């Protein structure tokens, strides 16, 4: 059965500008700008006043109705990204051979050595807009930061997949890099970066 009209609203906080043009959304805030395309969803997007975005779905089936809330969540994550930013912390776990992690000065990649005693160098490139750094507070920890939650989580997944244990019992060999914390950073005041 089709639902005649499904509507959801996204509240736009102060200091954030949103531009909507043919299901392309551009969110601008104190930390930068994020752009995303939602052409694959059959939804109507319109700005209502200065601080609300309306998302409509006409004559939608159950799965299309679910897309309304999903789109709102994506936009809210973009707003959080450009105002506060996201942070992932990853810890290295090893039984015998200590995993050695080095980050070049630009913070756009990470080099992993001595995984399970292997001599091979594993180099993982971060997605654009994601910075990686070795934690100073905690041993064997790296910190990934960025504005785009999707690119940040994809970068964390690439690091995790680079050190997967092959041809051994993964219940016994738990060595690797795992996400230990997900945080929202503190907001940055306008003018400071």
118-135 as b/e: b if 16+ CB within 10 A: eeeeeebebbebbbbeee
β-pairing, 122-125 vs 109-113, is antiparallel
CA distance 54 to 64: 16
Answer yes or no: are the C-beta atoms of 105 and 83 closer than 8 Å: no
Examine the pLDDT at 193 and tell me if it is beyond 60.
no
Answer yes or no: are the C-beta atoms of 23 and 40 closer than 8 Å: no
Give pLDDT tens digits for 115-162.
Answer: 999 999 999 999 999 999 999 999 999 999 999 999 999 999 999 999
What's the whole-model pTM score?
0.90
Give pLDDT tens digits for 25-81.
Answer: 999 999 999 999 999 999 999 999 889 999 999 999 999 999 999 999 999 999 999
């Amino acid at each position: 059965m089709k639902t005649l009209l499904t509507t959801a609203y996204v509240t736009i906080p102060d200091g954030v500008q949103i531009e909507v043009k043919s299901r392309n959304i551009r969110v601008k805030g104190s930390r930068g700008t994020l752009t995303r395309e939602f052409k694959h969803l059959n939804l109507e997007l319109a700005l209502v006043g200065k601080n609300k975005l309306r998302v409509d779905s006409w004559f939608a089936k159950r799965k299309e109705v679910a897309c309304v809330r999903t789109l709102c969540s994506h936009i809210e994550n973009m707003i959080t990204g450009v105002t506060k930013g996201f942070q992932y912390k990853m810890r290295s776990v090893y039984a015998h051979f200590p995993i050695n992690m080095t980050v070049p000065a630009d913070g756009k990649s990470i080099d992993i050595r001595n995984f399970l005693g292997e001599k091979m160098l594993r180099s993982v490139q971060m997605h654009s807009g994601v910075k990686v750094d070795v934690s100073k507070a905690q041993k064997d920890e790296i910190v990934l930061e960025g504005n785009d939650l999707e690119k940040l989580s994809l970068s964390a997944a690439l690091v995790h997949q680079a050190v997967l244990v092959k041809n051994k019992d993964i219940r016994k060999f738990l060595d690797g890099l795992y996400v230990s914390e997900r945080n929202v950073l503190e907001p940055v005041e306008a003018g400071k970066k």
